[in-house]
Structure 1
Amino acid sequence: MKKTLLSMVALLVAGHAAMAQNGLTEIPDPDGSQFMCTVLSPNGKYIGGVCYGVNAGFIFDVREQKMVKFDAPDPDTDVQLKAIADNGVAVGWNGPAAIFDFASEKCTTYGEAEQYLFTGISPNGKLIVGARYDGTDDEGTPCLFNEGVPTDLPQPSNKFLGAESAGASALSVSNDSIISGYWVDAMATRPALLWAPNRDGETFSAYPFSRGYFASSYESTMPYSIFSCDQTIMSANGKYVVLNVEKLLDDGGSEFGVARYNTENDLVEYFMASQLEGMEDSELYGFAVSDDGTIVGCCGSLYSGRTGFIWKKGETLQTLAEAFPKVAKFAEYDAGGMNSPCGISADGRYIAGFAFVDSETADEDSEETGGMTTWLFDTLYETNDVAAAPASEGAGKVVARFSADGKRLNADSKVRGFNMLLMKNGKTMKTFNK
């Protein structure tokens, strides 16, 4: 695969400063690739996704400010990055199932197109999950992959499910081999499913936990008759799964919501669109969940009018603009109609997503209207104006330092001129060194 490496020098020459504004950073895009984030590594170091402007995937190292692009072999090939590990290895497909390696800058494909799907990788990069397709199961056979070799995961019997299954797929996996995914019922919805390793450490047992909460047919009296779980993505520690819910109403309509499932106590919490004042008719989609149960996603529609949200455990769901009012960009992204938070780090500190932004150079006679941009938000930054640091810089340990042009510096090395400091307690300070 042809790869394009954008150096830090090129990024700075293009005039895109890497320094966060109130904690928000837009990934530099001097080539106009229009980066659309789809995944964030659990440690918050790597952002992966696709390019809207060209047919390619990408991985960006946030700390080193290094970009690697993975081009498709031809214009008709679909490229997707579905999950990324802490070591910068991502999985998805580039035609066939594929592994994208940031360190080697190589994309390795497995099998033929549509033979396998790679959809999840463990935080340590050792386990890959997905599905294989051989014509015997309409919706595929869930698999755990070891160096590209699939091992089938068991599927519950139709008798146990209470409905006929058309197949299943695994979507995400933790370091200790807890796997989340879904099965496909007679209504073509995707009820959630878990796999847990047995005592032998080699075999697995399937647990369709959704059976106790959601119906498998229209005749059921369960409260939520449709349970579409394409996005059954699990937190890095395997404790929480983010779910998307559609509730059938008595008048024949439906209501959308997002749910948080706790694998440790088998409980589900819901937040429905009807709870949002002025947005009762919106659709809610959760895309990622942190180790403490914080969910990020969008409300509005998958195809237009997206507004980014955050839903912390024990709190009400809020738009990002409401939760972080000092970050003006979030309101601008929402106005663009495609604000999509797609990833959150395991510790909940970093949130990544993409949005549509208007072109700064466009005028009434120009065909240029703007494009997609990928953003990263550090929730520990002060959202108020940056305060001047005391001369001693003694307000906690300095964990990161940036120069005026946005270049990341050694945390312990002062440089002449303006210095922006990120402290261990999450606060930001500015100093000026002669």
Structure 2
Amino acid sequence: MKKTLLSAIAMLATSGAVMAQNGVTEVPDAEGHQYMCTVLSPNGRYLGGSNGDQMGGFIYDTQSKKVVDYSTPDVDTDLQLKSINDEGVAVGWNGPAAIFKFATADYTTYGVDGQYLFMGISPDGKLIAGARYDNEDSPAGQPCLFKDGKPVDLPQPSNKFLGANSDGATALSVSNDSIISGYWVDDMGTRPALLWAPGREADTYMAYPFSRPYFAVNTESTKSYAVFSCDQTVMSPNGKYIVVNFEKYTGEWESSLGVARYNTANDSLEIFTCNPEDEMFAEVGTDIMGCAVSDEGTIVGIYGGMYGPRCGFMWKKGDDKIKSLAAEFPKATLLADYDAGGFNTPAGISADGRYIAGFAYKEGETEDDGGYVSWVFDTQYDDASGVESAPAADAKKVVARFTADGKRLKADAKARGFNMMLMKNGKTIKSFNK
């Protein structure tokens, strides 16, 4: 039987690449490590996270389709990847604070266990945000910006200015331009949002607790929000937007969780809290947590229950409410399957908003076959044609070309009419030449 054009291309592509299913690609996991992606590089190329079955970590390169695994020194060591840059360099800890490099498949630790905290790395890899705990005068944590492995202390706002007692602070994320987000710890143990802006002089910064107008230091406060924290969220790669997760006090020691988008450029805030009567939340729950934000302000995260069931959402800049990721992209049917598994977690979005990555529990044919998978979704997948679009940079990487009747041409040859091209990265694109 004569092969069709699409089947011929599929055979070529699958021989050297992991194929996407309607734009969704799962991280290959032949050994059953159950990868859980928690970070995505700003350019959308690298995913990182935990290696569930070995209590380790991993980094995956979407171009080479290669996975690098990282193990812990012993069973009692905690390994976490908290942020990853455009070159596949991640920061976190493996016992002590650590830098993980995909290119060399190794990691380097700094200080001793508990001395430093690495939380965020700039897209270009020149800056690391975090804290240090090696000063007896600041046992609760001194926020730092690390340059070449050396900490530069960041200022903390005074108790008088905050209106509450501060018990230390931590920097969470940093842009190439040294805009830094983080939090300070109040005497109730909550973590109100904090921003550092670079000063006129080198290595000088101004601390700005932008959550101050919304944060209430106790439940008797007349302010709308009892807790306004961002200890699990990050800033957009360009430093313009910050995801803030907050807890709104509703009375009788009850509260609801919502998400907000803060604009560092104009000091504005957009808040979303769900309507419990909305059908979207009826079966899974009303808790919301934002996990990442693009340079244009698109937020991705989870809604439902923090401990399940949870589903993925997208909140675009300009929209008045969040939308289910599966509903926004209905032909990417794996997204709905992940939601059905009860633990779908979109954890990262690329700077341009094109790629979204995360992890989910994927149900198997039997109860014993299920497990966690990491996935990355290309939002520019062409649903109409069943063929993925490709960025302009891939146009020079054509490895095979076909005419409408399935005839194979030289990669650099162009035939009149319909052309289907197989790219070096395993994707296919189409064109029409006059």
> How would you bin the TM-score normalised by the shorter chain?
0.7 to 0.9
Q: Distance in 1 between matches of 2:273 and 2:259?
A: 6
Q: Which among 307, 313, 318 is matched to residue 314 of structure 1?
A: 318
Question: Which residue type is aligned with residue 302 of structure 1?
Answer: M
Letter in 1 for 2:357: A
Farther-moved stretch of structure 1 (208-217 vs 151-160)? 208-217
**Following superposition of structure 1 onto structure 2, how do residues 283-432 of structure 1 map, counting pairs within 5 Å?**
283-315=287-319, 316-360=321-365, 362=366, 368-386=368-386, 400=394, 410-411=397-398, 413-414=400-401, 421=421, 429=429
Amino acid at match of 2:340: A
Q: What is the alpha-carbon distance in structure 1 between the residues aligned to residue 31 and residue 240 of structure 2? A: 40
Runs of 5+ in structure 1 lacking a partner?
1-11, 390-394, 402-408
Residue 191 of structure 1: how far off its partner (Å): 0.5
Post-superposition offset of 1:16: 10
After TM superposition, the score normalised by the length of structure 2 is 0.85
Q: Distance in 2 between matches of 1:170 and 1:421?
A: 45
- Cα 1:275–1:400 shift into 2, 3 Å: farther
The answer as to whether partners of 1:350 and 1:379 remain within 8 angstroms in 2 is yes
For residues 302 and 108 of structure 1, the distance between their equivalents in structure 2, rounded to whole angstroms, comes to 33
Aligned partners of 1:231 and 1:242 also within 8 Å: no
What's the counterpart of residue 183 of structure 1?
Answer: 184
- Other structure's SS at 1:333 match: helix
1:222 and 2:209 aligned: no
**Residues 398, 245 of structure 1: CA spacing in aligned structure 2 closer, same or farther, 3 A cutoff?**
closer
Distance 1:310 1:317 in 2: 6
Are the structure 2 counterparts of residues 293 and 113 from structure 1 closer, same or farther at C-alpha, using a change threshold of 3 Å? same
Q: Does structure 2 retain, via aligned residues, the 8 Å contact 1:386–1:429?
A: no
8 Å CA contact retained: 1:41, 1:47: yes
Question: How is 1:154-193 mapped onto 2 (pairs within 5 angstroms)?
Answer: 154-193=155-194
In the alignment, residue 310 of structure 1 is paired with which amino acid?
A: M
Matches within 5 A, 1:23-34: 23-34=23-34
What is the SS of the residue equivalent to 1:273?
A: coil
Q: Are the counterparts in 2 of residues 326 and 384 from structure 1 also a CA contact under 8 Å?
A: no
**One-letter amino acid of the counterpart of residue 142, structure 1:** P
Where do 5+ consecutive residues of structure 2 fail to align? Answer: 1-11, 409-418
Distance 1:18 1:102 in 2: 19
Looking at structure 1, the residues matched to 16 and 53 of structure 2 have their Cα atoms a distance apart, in angstroms, of 18
What letter corresponds to residue 112 of structure 1 in structure 2? V
CA contact under 8 A between 1:189 and 1:229: conserved in structure 2? no
How far, CA to CA, are the matches of 2:341 and 2:164 in structure 1? 42
Please say which of residues 248-257 and 94-103 is displaced more in the overlay. Answer: 248-257
* Equivalent residue, structure 1, for 2:60: 60
Query: How many Å separate the matches in 1 of 2:247 and 2:339?
Result: 23
CA offsets 1:21-77 (integer angstroms, 9 cap, x no match): 111111111111111101000001111111112121111110111111111111221
Return closer, same or farther for 1:290/1:420 CA change in 2, 3 Å cut-off: farther
Q: Counterparts in 2 of 1:121-140, with a 5 A limit? A: 121-134=121-134, 135-140=136-141
Assess if the C-alpha contact under 8 Å between 1:398 and 1:411 holds in 2. no
**8 Å CA contact 1:399, 1:411 repeated in 2:** no
Segment drifting more, 247-256 vs 341-350: 247-256
User: Which residue of 2 is the match for residue 270 of structure 1?
Assistant: 271
| Amino acid of the structure 2 residue aligned with 1:36 | M
2:86 aligned partner: 86
Distance 1:413 1:244, change over 3 A: same
For each residue in 1:3-34, what CA deviation from the matched residue of structure 2 results, as whole angstroms up to 9, or x when unmatched? xxxxxxxxx9x999611111111111111111
State the alpha-carbon separation in 1 of the partners of residues 422 and 182 from structure 2: 38
Identity %: 57
Quick check: 246-255 or 235-244, which moved more?
246-255
Alignment-mate amino acid for residue 342 of structure 1: A
Distance in 2, Cα, partners of 1:290 & 1:421: 30
Query: 1:89/1:396 Cα in 2 relative to 1: closer, same or farther (>3 Å)?
Result: closer
Match of 1:9 in 2: none
Q: CA deviation at 1:136?
A: 3.9
SS at match of 1:332: helix
- Aligned CA distance change for structure 1 residues 52 and 220 (closer, same or farther; 3 Å): same
Which amino acid in 1 is paired with 2:152?
T
CA distance in 2, matches of 1:142, 1:342: 24
Give 1:138 shift. 4.9
Amino acid in the other structure paired with 1:334: D
Letter in 2 for 1:327: A
2:411 matched residue in structure 1:
none
SS of equivalent to 1:249: strand
Q: In structure 2, what is the Cα distance between the partners aligned to 1:270 and 1:139?
A: 30
Q: 1:81-101: CA deviations, max 9, x gaps? A: 000011111000001100001
Name the counterpart of 1:150.
151
